[in-house]
């Protein structure tokens, strides 16, 4: 019984420690648990990644820059994952998976002949829309793969702090973001 009480107390203390920010002050601003931070309070930082603080346009530039520096110092996994979603390799890889999935479905259901027959049976507006959508996916994949530098490479880490492409990750993220804008 005494051992169980010690385990419960240990778990309670672990939860308390998890709620406390790991850094109390960063660049002159207090760091508070993300649950306590309110949008618009630019005198404090949330202690973890908060999507609202990143995507809203009226966030002060200096606050955002310092917040990103804090997240990098904390090696926040959600921030790292979000950065990887902008990477050319991640974008190309996800589009390629979709293209391969479509090709696999056609192969399992009659191949090119079934595909040709399906498109012949569709009405004109639907057929042209489906073909346009497929062509756009292929162009989008080529943007990421050829122009943004993915070059048929893959990555399953999805944490830019552990990127297997060394210092090239900066260019991959920047080029992936530019390809997305295009």
Which pLDDT value is given to residue 138?
A: 94
Which pLDDT value is given to residue 2?
A: 82
| Number of domains present in the structure of the chain | 2
Residue 167 and residue 111 in one domain: yes
Angstrom CA distances, 38 to 18, 32, 59, 67, 70, stand at 19, 10, 12, 14, 17
Give the global pTM.
0.73
Angstrom CA distances, 145 to 27, 42, 86, 109, 129, stand at 39, 39, 13, 28, 24
Mark which of 47, 74, 101 sits at the end of a domain. 74
Residue 16 and residue 91 in one domain: no
Which pLDDT value is given to residue 1?
A: 58
Residue 37 and residue 68 in one domain: yes
Which pLDDT value is given to residue 181?
A: 87
Mark which of 74, 102, 126 sits at the end of a domain. 74
**Regions of the chain where pLDDT drops below 50:** none
* Domain span holding position 169: 84-181
Proportion of the chain above pLDDT 90, given as a percent: 40
Mark which of 74, 105, 136 sits at the end of a domain. 74
Residue 69 and residue 94 in one domain: no
Which pLDDT value is given to residue 97?
A: 94
Residue 111 and residue 47 in one domain: no
Which pLDDT value is given to residue 122?
A: 87
Which pLDDT value is given to residue 20?
A: 66
């Amino acid at each position: 019984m005494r051992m169980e009480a010690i385990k419960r107390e240990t778990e309670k203390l672990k939860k308390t420690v998890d709620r406390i920010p790991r850094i109390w002050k960063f660049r002159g601003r207090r760091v508070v648990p993300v649950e306590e931070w309110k949008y618009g309070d630019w005198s404090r930082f949330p202690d973890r990644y908060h999507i609202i603080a990143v995507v809203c346009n009226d966030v002060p530039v200096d606050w955002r820059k310092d917040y990103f520096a804090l997240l990098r110092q904390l090696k926040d996994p959600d921030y790292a994952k979000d950065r990887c979603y902008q990477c050319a390799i991640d974008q190309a890889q996800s589009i390629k998976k979709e293209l391969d999935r479509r090709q696999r479905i056609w192969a399992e259901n009659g191949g090119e002949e079934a595909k040709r027959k399906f498109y012949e049976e569709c009405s004109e507006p639907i057929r042209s829309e489906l073909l346009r959508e497929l062509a756009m996916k292929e162009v989008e994949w080529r943007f990421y793969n050829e122009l943004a530098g993915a070059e048929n490479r893959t990555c399953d880490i999805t944490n830019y702090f552990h990127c297997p492409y060394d210092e090239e990750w900066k260019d991959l993220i920047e080029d992936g973001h530019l390809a997305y804008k295009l």
